[in-house]
Structure 1
Amino acid sequence: MNTYSLRRSSLALAIGAALTSALASPTALAEEEVKKAELERIEVTARKTVENLQEVPVAVTSIGAAQLQENGISVMTEVQQFSPNTTLQASRGTNSTITAFIRGVGQQDPLWGYEPGVGIYIDDVYVARPQGAVLDLLDVQQIEVLRGPQGTLYGKNTIGGAVKYITKEMTGDMTFDIQGTVGSYKQRDLKITGQIPLIDEQLYVGYGFATLNRDGFGDFLVSDLAGQDKENYNKDLTAARLTLEYRPTEDLFFRLGWDKTDDDSNAKGGYRLLPSILTDAPVPDDAFDSYTSMPTWNKVELEGYSLTARWDMSDDTSFKYIGAKRDSYSPTNIDFDNTAARIFDVPAIYDDEQTTHELQLNHQGDNYKLVSGLYYYDGESCGVFDAILEVGAQLDKLGVGVPLPSFTREISGCSNSTSKAAYIQGSVDLTDQWSLTLGARYTKDKKEAYVNNTALVATIYPEDGWVPGYVRPDFEENLVLDDEKDWSRFTPRVGVEYQYNNDIMFFASYAQGFKSGTFNPRASTAEPAANPEIVDSYELGMKSEWNDNLRANITFFTLDHEDRQYISVLPGENSAVLNQRLGNIGNSSADGVEVELNYVATDALSFDASLGYIDSDFKEVLDTDPITGDTFDKSDRFSISNTPDLTFNLGATYRLYTDSGDWVINGNYYYRGDYVLFEEDSLLSQDSYGLLNLSVNWYSTDGHWRVGIHGKNLTDEEYMIGGYQFVTPDASDPTDVSKYTPGLGGDNTLIGYYGDPRTISLTVGYNF
């Protein structure tokens, strides 16, 4: 719905080119410096064991702590810039809920019961729900993005890939680090991390604390509730982490961890892209301004416990156990219509808990490696939301029409699931150059679900006190679904690798992943569960290093995505229908390429580039004509959402070593092609755009002090990352907004949510 001028993009490219030209001076590129420049070795855990990135036949991007710090990256969603064909964005209505897509595979609806398509892991602990998965970075060692289905080693719900958040293991030394940040929109951040040895070389305790605060990018222009905070897109978050590590012998390691996050940022108000036909409020002038008739408060509470135990049985064999328990609670206010009238308001609660256990056995022989394990997951995902439609009463307040009673459709329920799996993957050297990788995982899932779907002529909120003085009445819930089902799946992986020489490896692989079947948490009848989604992926790639200063990793891929789950496939459905069905709509495919380059020109100057191209579309979407009963294909109305056909990132880093300290100057330009926000008849689309970022870092000669200045989105691009559409276009002319038919609540509800505007921040850190 937004158009971005060529002038802005050209300006961004010009600045990037000027920066590169300035850094690549003849002096900096002196021949003697070129000879000294070498690539840094990167170690990853993509195959659940520590390996050199160049030896892993998987498309994986790894961003280490130093790179994250020097680029001023403070939240996990920014990592999408460095990983081709990847979307990691904050979802609509909240700062903390993630929308994750890799290679066109993901899930854009965060309602309880729906399974994600990209797995999020914190220290190898699976995070099942998207609420709270937009992680702020605290004491992180590296973040890895694994592209393509990871069904063998990581299991269900990684059909698009996996994102791994890995924290630092302690060194055993006494350390303390404090970091403060001030910036645009009154940003005020404080992070404290450190470790204390309790028993030298055996027992250590680590700690971390963060308080992250920022005023809103915009305002709620109107709120019916007096005394409510009017800031929109603000931030008010605290996080804490404690870790106890014990090394009784050289062969034994134990880690006990606890973390807690409280996010009290306001609910995010959306931007009306069409004027309301029921109120006289105009479309706001600023994309970050909104109207609301809801409370503006919001909350996300996360807490987790984990235990890791590792026994190095010999130099070649290790045994590992990872157990964890995580809970999340999130009451939220979403004003779908974003007006001062109660036209379509949806207060909701998400309440989740999960327990996981994993046993892992790794072994390495003379010419082979083996990873195997057992996995167990037990999760409960519950929630309630109230769709409040009170048009008549609000129109009466405006002096129009006759008062009508309010109407609420309350939907509540739980989706409880267990998952058991056994996996094994090994690679064997057939010759000095050829090797073979074989992997398999067997998973058995069971899901129990119930759904209450109740209609009431009243205004209903999920809890007492939701608005001042509100007391929730007693009423009989209408149970529409109470069912259980189990699924099982064998997911293989087969690969072959050819080591052309010490610096170049070619690989080809086939991998399969599956996303669990599920029941519809919005069901209005006892409808059957949707079947699992299956992705079959083929890759052909090269990992290479040239002359010790150029790394070039290239992957070609093709995938088939079968039985895609989709919400709202009722025959004859339109945007005014609240009842929704969940079904397997059909099949899609994708072909693409991913390129990642690192060039170390001198000891001082280096360049990074990544490019992703994907051609993805729906091959078949079957529906039934409600009148004739005939089956027809409507794939021409469907698009792969949240997936630009082209993404690329160009970056440069210059290091200057002086008597007064070391300087690191870096900049990057990140480009995303156009994309749509919804699969079916999407009215929300984002034109291509680019983000220009620049950072200047200084480190003291004694290694204690550091200072960083970070500019993000310097050209102040405006880009959409989420939205709602509850209007129906005219079939004869879908581009004519004047012919849109109003949806739920009787209004033109077409809403956009936007990424961060231009920000500049100053960070000062001290450590000893």
Structure 2
Amino acid sequence: MNTLTLRRSSLALAIGAALTSALASSTAFAEEAVKKAELERIEVTARKTVENLQEVPVAVTSIGEAQLQENGISVMTEVQQFSPNTTLQASRGTNSTITAFIRGVGQQDPLWGYEPGVGIYIDDVYVARPQGAVLDLLDVQQIEVLRGPQGTLYGKNTIGGAIKYVTKEMTGDTTFNVEGTVGSYNQRDLKITGQIPLIDEQLYVGYGFATLNRDGFGDFITSDLDNQDRENYNKELTAARVTLEYRPTDNLFFRLGWDKTDDDSNSKGGYRLLPSELTDAPVPDSVYDSYTSMPTWNKVELEGLSFTARWDVSDSTSIKYVGAQRESYSPTNIDFDNTSLRIFDVPAIYDDEQDTHELQLNHQGDGYKVVSGLYYYDGESCGVFDAILEVGAQLDKLGVGVPLPSFTREISGCSNSSSKAAYIQGSVDLSEKWSMTLGARYTKDKKEAYVNNTALLATIYPESGWIPGYERPDFEENRVLDDEQDWSRFTPRVGVEYQHSNDLMFFASYAQGFKSGTFNPRAATAEPAANPEIVDSFELGMKSEWNDNLRANVTLFSLDHDDRQYISVLPGEDSTVLNQRLGNIGKSSANGVEVELNYVATDALSFDASLGYIDSDFEEVIDYDSAGVAFDKSDRFTISNTPELTFNLGATYRLYTDHGDWVFNGNYYYRGDYVLFEEDSLLTQDSYGLLNFSANWYSTDGNWRVGVHAKNLTDEEYMIGGYQFVTPDPSDPSDVSKYTPGLGGDNTLIGYYGDPRTISLTVGYSF
């Protein structure tokens, strides 16, 4: 499909090595007296308190504001390069929906009702849905990636891990920052942030605004797109934040925050990897070009309101409350077949609301510390999609010549959830060197769901006006499922730590997490809900610093993933069937290692590296044949979106002059091959590497900064998503070039791709 040769990857690696060598030579030339610098102290909030990274017995990667800025990282998905065994990618069909996997655990399908396997948090507020979760970074302090189940402190749906987006608290000073960026594909970005004290040392208001725009990497090349924007993979987004902080006394803190994002980028069109059976259009020349029979517009609207109150009762005890309300609305056009005919078109709407409340009590005593809390979540996730199948096109191709109306399968419904939880986690010193961590969380979930499943001999869109002049008809919806289910779960954590010295700690832990049970949002009958997924994880790790300039953190892990939820077709049917069932079908396991290294060679030169290796497999997948007899088909399943090997090599060189400070950095990021689908995947991305380089200048007065950022210098093409609605030809299944058309009667094998080579220039001013 998309083969990247070893030669190109080796070339990229050689360039990276040459870059590192050049930086080292420059350092030797520039520095007459070499002074050894010390490692930067990194503070994280992985255990809901501020702690030194090296004291936290959790596999966590933290990327601070300076590193994000100097590497030109503008969206959350780029963070995957710096965290081992992590996949963060923009999902198929849209720029704003995230596909997140950590250690082979995640959720690929973004349909309402499904629960994520990796939790996304914005300032301690859980974001339940993947729509809009590809966050553009604005006024960020750091991004933290917590790997492994976080079921004790963060609750359900963090069985793979958690991503934390932490914004900056205000200083109380008047500040103003403006940043403009121009770049490849007519990139035009503007970000403005700042703060103003309303009452000195007590009341402050902060603000942020961004407008992010870019032309498409490719085009919709269908000829009959009248009055439609033809750009594919473009960007048109605005975001705003307003924050009010109040500190009436030294031990009281209040924050009220509002944020809104409008993403009007076009729907993403996929690249046809096979010629169409029903049209004469060839496979496009560029992987960023596409055909479509649908409108190209798309929309993602996000809005959130949050309130935080913190009371430092004493030097050892604090109470914190975090409450939030978030909602999102996303009408979208997904052309599954990517042709100029309505062979398999899916206009859809996602509509979500959520309210969360969390009350924390943290206490630190002589030789122990405790984090505890109560949590409540109430959410409503609704949607509708119309699967439009132009059956007449297939008959015409076969020469039948009988005009028939289109066929539309409409599925709509809601999945309403409430969740209550209580948790406590404590660490106690057993001796001068030994300590133990014990944690537990009890969660009570309730889910109510209904599904309407209707078949119509017409072309139906979710709303009137979806295309010019379209009026949605009235018809009786067919409710096939209306049910509710309760689940409860106790998730423990047990760990032991050995502090060999101030700079060396070993830890071992066991943790359990669960992903909530759910009803099938595509149900055709009143089928029962799928039970929660369970992950049991064991870790053995080391946190170390050597000679004040080398940090080496290593984690070995093993996990068992049971009761995996999976959508499969009904017994005896194939990929041409829309009816699907959801069930707990099997289990998988994974073993791996994660290594993170930081080496500060001199005041000027530093290196960083990370490596992730994972061996993951399905051990059992139970299905039933047409006679109702169970059989194991685990040999047809592969863990998706999970390369066996990932690594990143980076170098940073700092040059201090009378005319300002320079920061040069480069990194080479490698991902091994991976499949896009669990069952009988026909889409495999071969291994590839991304080579990036940045140069930054800071004025001597600290007000001005300029950055040049080059991404994917070797212009690699790599798939990050796709659709497969074909099956191998039964007459010769070993020949991967022969397929039997699937749903819609066409060869629908589609790929979506990551960004090509881009170069940008950023100029910023602050006071």
Which residue matches 1:235? 235
Q: 2 CA distance for matches of 1:280 and 1:26?
A: 57
Cα shift at 1:370: 0.3
Q: CA deviation at 1:2?
A: 1.1
3-state secondary structure, aligned to 2:14: helix
**Contact kept? 1:341, 1:391, Cα under 8 Å:** no
1:759 maps to 2:765: no
Aligned twin of 1:721 = 720
Partner of 2:679: 680
3-state SS, counterpart of residue 73 of structure 1: coil
Tell me the CA shift for residue 740 of structure 1.
Answer: 1.3
Q: Shift of the alpha carbon at 1:568?
A: 1.5
Once residues 525 and 50 of structure 2 are traced to their aligned partners in structure 1, the CA distance between those partners, rounded to angstroms, is 49
* Counterpart Cα distance in 1 of 2:32 and 2:443: 56
Distance 2:15 2:229 in 1: 38
1:577-588 equivalences in 2 (<5 Å)? 577-588=577-588
Contact 2:55/2:543, CA 8 A, preserved across alignment: yes
**Alpha-carbon separation, structure 2, partners of 1:138 and 1:665:** 23
Give the TM-score, by structure 1 length. 0.98
Q: Which residue of structure 2 lines up, in the alignment, with residue 90 of structure 1?
A: 90
1:17 to partner: Cα distance: 0.8
Is the contact made by 1:350 and 1:383 (CA closer than 8 Å) also made in structure 2? yes
Deviation at residue 623 of structure 1 after TM alignment: 1.1
Q: Which stretch shifts more, 18-27 or 253-262?
A: 18-27
Q: Return the alpha-carbon distance in structure 2 between the equivalents of residues 113 and 26 of structure 1.
A: 55
- Equivalent position of 2:747 in the other structure: 748
Q: Does 1:568 align with 2:558?
A: no
- Tell me the secondary structure at the aligned position of residue 691 of structure 2: strand
Partner-residue secondary structure (3-state), 1:188: strand
C-alpha distance in 2 between matches for 1:683 and 1:751? 10
1:261-300 matched pairs, under 5 angstroms:
261-300=261-300
In the TM superposition, what whole-angstrom CA distance separates every residue of 1:676-709 from its partner, at most 9, and x where no partner exists? 0000000011000000000000000000000000
Q: Distance in 2 between matches of 1:438 and 1:2?
A: 47
Q: Distance in 1 between matches of 2:29 and 2:317?
A: 46
1:16 partner SS:
helix
Tell me what 1:251 maps to: 251
Q: 1:99 Cα deviation (Å)?
A: 0.2
For 2:657 and 2:49, the matched residues in 1 are separated by 39
1:127 to 2:127 alignment: yes
Q: Does structure 2 retain, via aligned residues, the 8 Å contact 1:714–1:759?
A: yes
Q: Structure 1 residues 229, 502: CA separation in 2 closer, same or farther (over 3 Å shift)? A: same
Equivalent residue letter for 2:477? E
Deviations 1:350-372 (A, max 9, x none): 00000000000000001001000
Structural mapping, 1:584-595, within 5 Å:
584-595=584-595
Partner of 1:174: 174
Q: Which amino acid aligns with 1:158?
A: T
SS at match of 1:100: strand
Superposition map of 1:438-477 within 5 A: 438-477=438-477
Where does residue 618 of structure 1 map in the other structure?
A: 618
Q: Which runs of no fewer than 5 residues in structure 2 stay unpaired?
A: none
Mapped to 2, the partners of 1:730 and 1:537 lie a distance apart of 40
Aligned residue number for residue 405 of structure 1: 405
C-alpha displacement of 1:397 = 11
Structure 2: which amino acid aligns with 1:502? N
Q: Aligned partners of 1:238, 1:449: CA distance in 2, in Å?
A: 33
SS in 2 for 1:581: strand
Query: What is the CA distance between 1:33 and its match in structure 2?
Result: 5.6
One-letter code of the match for 2:742? G
- Once the two structures are TM-superposed, the CA of residue 28 in structure 1 deviates from its matched residue by 3.0
- The separation in 2 between residues aligned to 1:479 and 1:33, in whole angstroms, is 77
SS in 2 for 1:746: coil
Q: How does 1:61-76 map to 2 (within 5 A)?
A: 61-76=61-76
Letter of the structure 2 residue corresponding to residue 306 of structure 1: S
Give the distance between the partners of 2:726 and 2:739, measured in 1 at CA: 6
| 1:734 aligned residue | 733
Structure 1 unaligned regions, length at least 5: none
- Alignment of 1:157 with 2:165, yes or no, is no
Deviations 1:66-110 (A, max 9, x none): 000000000000000000000000000000000000000000000
Deviation by residue 1:469-500 (Cα, 9 ceiling, x = unmatched): 00000000000000000000000000000001
Give the structure-2-normalised TM-score: 0.99
- Alpha-carbon spacing, 1:26–1:212, altered in 2? closer, same or farther (3 Å): closer
> Is the Cα contact below 8 Å between 1:29 and 1:601 reproduced in 2?
no
Distance in 1 separating the partners of 2:600 and 2:383: 51
Q: Which residue of 2 aligns with 1:700?
A: 699
Equivalent position SS for 1:745: coil
Question: Structure 2 counterpart of 1:632, which letter?
Answer: F
Residue type of the partner of 2:511?
A
| Paired residue type of 2:557 | F
Checking the alignment, whether the CA contact within 8 Å between 1:224 and 1:294 is kept in structure 2 is no
Given that 1:34 and 1:601 are in contact with CA atoms closer than 8 Å, whether structure 2 keeps it comes out as: no
Give CA-to-partner distance per residue, 1:319-346, whole Å, 9 cap, x none.
0000000000000000000000110000
SS state at 2:375 partner: strand
| Residue-by-residue CA offset, 1:711-745 (whole Å, 9 max, x unaligned) | 00000000000000001113564342453111111
Further displaced range: 617-626 or 168-177: 617-626
Structure 2: distance between partners of 1:399 and 1:192: 60
1:153 and 1:413 map into 2 onto residues whose CA distance is 31
Tell me, in whole angstroms, the C-alpha distance in 2 between the residues paired with 1:224 and 1:667.
Answer: 44
Partner of 1:183: 183
In 2: Cα distance, 1:440 partner to 1:636 partner: 36
CA 1:460–1:224: 2 relative to 1, 3 Å:
farther
2 CA distance for matches of 1:223 and 1:42?
54
- Matched AA of 2:509: S
Q: Is the 8 A contact 1:224 1:292 kept in 2?
A: no
Which residue in the other structure is 2:499 paired with?
A: 499
2:569–2:579 Cα contact (<8 Å) kept: no
* Equivalent pair of 1:569/1:583 in contact (CA under 8 Å): no
Contact 1:604–1:655 at 8 Å: present in 2 too? yes
| Structure 2 CA distance for aligned equivalents of residues 668 and 84 of structure 1 | 14
The residue number in structure 2 matching 1:344 is 344
Asked whether the 8 Å contact 2:301–2:330 carries over to 1, the reply is: yes
Residues 302 and 398 of structure 1, relative CA distance in 2, 3 Å threshold: farther
SS in 2 for 1:24: helix
1:632-653 CA-partner distances (Å, limit 9, x unpaired): 1110000000000000000000
Residue 449 of structure 2 aligns to which amino acid in structure 1? A
1:571 partner letter: P
CA distance in 2 between partners of 1:60 and 1:511 (Å): 15
> 1:397, 1:213 → 2: CA distance?
41
Given that 2:36 and 2:549 are in contact with CA atoms closer than 8 Å, whether structure 1 keeps it comes out as no
Aligned counterparts of 1:469 and 1:400: Cα–Cα separation in 2: 31
Cα displacement string for residues 267-320 of structure 1 (whole angstroms, at most 9, x for unaligned residues): 000000000000000000100000000000000000000000000000000000
Please give the per-residue CA displacement for 1:200-247, whole angstroms capped at 9, x wherever unaligned: 000000000000000000000015441000000000000000000000
> Residue 223 of structure 1 contacts residue 292 of structure 1 at CA under 8 Å; is this kept in 2?
no
Instruction: Tell me, in whole angstroms, the C-alpha distance in 1 between the residues paired with 2:404 and 2:645.
Output: 50
| Change beyond 3 A, Cα 1:30–1:704 | closer
**Aligned CA distance change for structure 1 residues 204 and 400 (closer, same or farther; 3 Å):** farther
CA distance in 2, matches of 1:9, 1:33: 37
Superposed CA RMSD: 1.4
Distance 1:441 1:529 in 2: 23
Offset of 1:391 from its aligned partner? 3.4
- The answer on whether the counterparts of 2:706 and 2:762 sit within 8 Å (CA) in structure 1 is yes
Report the 3-state secondary structure (helix = DSSP H, G, I; strand = E; otherwise coil) of the residue aligned with 1:46: coil
In the other structure, the counterpart of 2:381 is: 381
Query: C-alpha displacement at 1:625, in angstroms?
Result: 1.8
The residue identity in structure 1 corresponding to 2:733 is P
The residue identity in structure 1 corresponding to 2:188 is R
Partner of 2:549: 549
Aligned-pair CA distance for 1:571: 1.7
- SS at 2:626's partner residue? coil
Aligned residue for 1:28, secondary structure, equals: helix
Match of residue 196 from structure 1: 196
Check 1:615–1:731 CA distance in 2 against 1; reply closer, same or farther (3 A cut).
farther
